[in-house]
Amino acid sequence: MKSEPVLRTQSLSWESQNMLESRVQQGQAAGEWTDFYILTASPPCSSFGAGVYSGSSTCSARLRPSTLVGLQFLLPPASLAALANSWLQEDCPGLNFASLVTGSAPAQAVLWAKSPGVLAGRPFFDAIFTQLNCQVSWLLPEGSKLVPVVKVAEVRGPAHHLLLGERVALNTLARCSGIASAAATAVEVATSTGWAGHVAGTRKTTPGFRLVEKYGLLVGGAECHRYDLGGLVMVKDNHVVAAGSMEKAVLKARQAAGFPLKVEVECSSLKEALQAAEAGADLVMLDNFKPEELHPTAATLKAKFPNVSVEASGGVTLDNLPQFCGTNIDVISLGMLTQAAPALDFSLKLYAEGDIPVPHARRS
C-alpha cells in the first residue's frame, strides 16, 4: 500500500468511530476517499476515555492505522461554502474593473508549488473556485510532500473568474500548507526522540481562519487540541483569580463539564499542579516550565496522580522541542505552529493550449 499522510480523529466517541469506519468502508467499496489514513482510538486508558488525547504516552494501547477517509467527510460543506463566500466578498466587495481586461472566455491555469513542504488545503481551494463556477483537477493528493517546482493542479473556467479567485485561493492554500509543514516537522522532531506522546497546536489561531489552521495541523499529523471553547473546559490563571481559589475553580469547571467534557488546568508550579489534580483535573498543563523543571515536576505529579495527564506548553519551539519530550509528558503544545509557520509559495499561471510555462523555484 502506498504511503499516505495520517489523520487522527482524537475527539470522536466510540459510537462516532464505529459510524465513521462504516462510512469509510462504504466509500472504499465505491472507490472513493483515497487521501488519508484515519487513526482510530484504542481502548480507553487512564482518565482520557475515548476523548481528547486518547492513546497518550501513559497508555500501553496505542493508536492503530485503519482505513482511508476523504476530507469532505470531516469538513462541513456549508462551512466551506460560507468561508469561501466571505473571503471572496472581502477581496471584491464591489466593482472588479480588472475583469474587463480578460472577459469571460474559457481559460485554463496550472497551480505550481515553488517551495518545499506539505500540501494542505485542497477542500478550501476547491470551495473558492466552486463558488466561481470553475473546475479544479488535482494532480497530487492532500498531504503530499512538495519538491519544487511541481505541478499540483489544473483549474479551468471563465478567465475573469479564475483571476477573481486566484489570490484568495493561493493565500488559503499557502497558509494551510505552511501550518501542515510546520506540524509535520514538529511531529518528526518529537517522534525521533522515541517519545510516544502527542504534538498539538493551540487555540492561538487567526480569527475567522481557525478551520483552515486547525485542518492544517491535522494534515501535518499534529493534534488540534480543543477546537473551540466547547471542546474542553480549561481553567487558566485568570479563572482561578476570578473563582477565588484553585479548588473552587476546578469544582465549578467539573460541574460545568458534566460527563462529556474533560477539565484541564493551567499550572505554573508543582504546588498548583498537585492542587489541580487533587481537585479533580483530568489534565494538568505545566505552563512555561523550563525543561529542567518540567520533568521532575511531571514525575512527582504522575507518582501521586497516575491517571492525570500532563501537557507541556509555553516557550516550546522546533529547536528546543526534544528537551520537552519525556516519559511523564503526554502532550506538548506549540502556539508557533499556527502563529509563526511560514506560508508556502504557490502560483497560478494561465496558459494557452500546448504552452505551459514553468515558474522558478522560490529563493530561500
- Residue labelled with grid coordinates 487521501: 35
Q: Is 268 in contact with 296 (CB distance < 8 Å)? A: no
Q: Is 331 in contact with 223 (CB distance < 8 Å)? A: yes
Q: From CA 124, how far away is CA 103, in angstroms rounded? A: 25
DSSP 311: E
Cell numbers of 325, please? Answer: 519530550
CA 149 remoteness from chain centre: 25
Phi-psi region of 46 (alpha: psi -120 to 50; beta: other; left: phi over 0): left
Q: Within 10 Å of residue 114's Cβ, how many Cβ atoms?
A: 17
- 3-state SS assignment for residue 135: strand
Q: Which residues are catalytic?
A: 204
Q: From CA 155, how far away is CA 349, in angstroms rounded? A: 10
Q: From CA 248, how far away is CA 255, in angstroms rounded? A: 11
